[in-house]
Structure 1
Amino acid sequence: MPRILAIDYGKKRTGIAVTDELQIIASGLTTIPSHTTIDFLKDYFAKERVEAVLIGEPKQMNGEPSESASIIKGFVTHFSNIFPDMKVVRVDERFTSKMAFQTMIDSGLSKKQRQNKGLIDEISATIMLQDYLSRKMY
């Protein structure tokens, strides 16, 4: 079975998470500089079968798009042009960064480790993906 990949795209960094081949468990894959995302994905898709890509949709508390929404919309358009056959699913990413930070605290990471913004992005992508998997099963 192909994997599902999640992308927490940001201006500077992009967190990436992926499922196992049975699409049961989401795991953080990596955090990369955002300008390298398409090249990273070309390489990853050449090695692994991927069924769909989740891309976070940043929203404000009232449901309106956040200020970073236009950057991500541009990325989604570019992604779809490069990978026209790949299914793209937009998912609400509200609170994922806060949840990721709380996960780091709950895991006992030191204050210095919790300052690693790349790790927060990777965990955020993992949270988006695991939430998607949970909803998909029901």
Structure 2
Amino acid sequence: MGRILALDYGEKRTGIAVTDELRLIASGLTTVPTKELMLFLKDYVIAENVDIFVVGEPKQMNNTPSESEQYIKPFLAELAKHFTGISIERQDERFTSKMAFQSMLDSGLKKKQRRNKALVDEISATLILQSYLERK
């Protein structure tokens, strides 16, 4: 059984989280500049067995897609083109950034550390993946 890899896709940076091989635990992996994302994913898939990509699906409160969905759609097409054997699923990502920031507060991170947007993106990806695992 392969890992599940979750992406909190953003215009500048993308947070990445991954499960263990048994798909029980979601852990933050890293944050990469979005322009380097495809290369990172290709290298990661060579090194690790990945069965599913879970990409965050930004929605507004009325359940309509948010503005950032316009950037995600072309990425999804490129992802499907490059990784034909790996399924792509979506997971609602409403409130993940706020929840990530709150978890940083709760864990006692200093103000300087909480300003680290890359860490927020990585935690958000972990929350997306954890929500996906709970849904399944």
Tell me by how many angstroms 1:117 deviates: 0.4
* Amino acid in the other structure paired with 2:107: S
Counterpart contact for 2:96–2:128, Cα < 8 Å:
yes
Residue aligning to 2:80 = 80
Residue aligning to 1:27 = 27
User: May I ask how many residue pairs the two structures share in their alignment?
Assistant: 136
Residue aligning to 1:101 = 101
* Amino acid in the other structure paired with 2:63: G
Tell me by how many angstroms 1:85 deviates: 1.8
Q: 1:1-138 counterparts in 2 under 5 A?
A: 1-136=1-136
- Partner SS, residue 126 of structure 1: helix
Counterpart contact for 2:91–2:131, Cα < 8 Å:
no
Could you tell me the TM-score, scaled by structure 1's length?
A: 0.97
Tell me by how many angstroms 1:120 deviates: 0.4
Tell me by how many angstroms 1:83 deviates: 1.0
Tell me by how many angstroms 1:135 deviates: 1.9
* Amino acid in the other structure paired with 1:96: T
Tell me by how many angstroms 1:134 deviates: 1.5
Unaligned runs of 5+ in 1: none
Identity of aligned residues (%): 62
User: How big is the alpha-carbon RMSD for the aligned residues of Structure 1 and Structure 2?
Assistant: 0.7
Unaligned runs of 5+ in 2: none
Could you tell me the TM-score, scaled by structure 2's length?
A: 0.98
- Partner SS, residue 91 of structure 2: strand
Tell me by how many angstroms 1:132 deviates: 1.1
* Amino acid in the other structure paired with 1:125: A
Moved over 3 A (4+): none
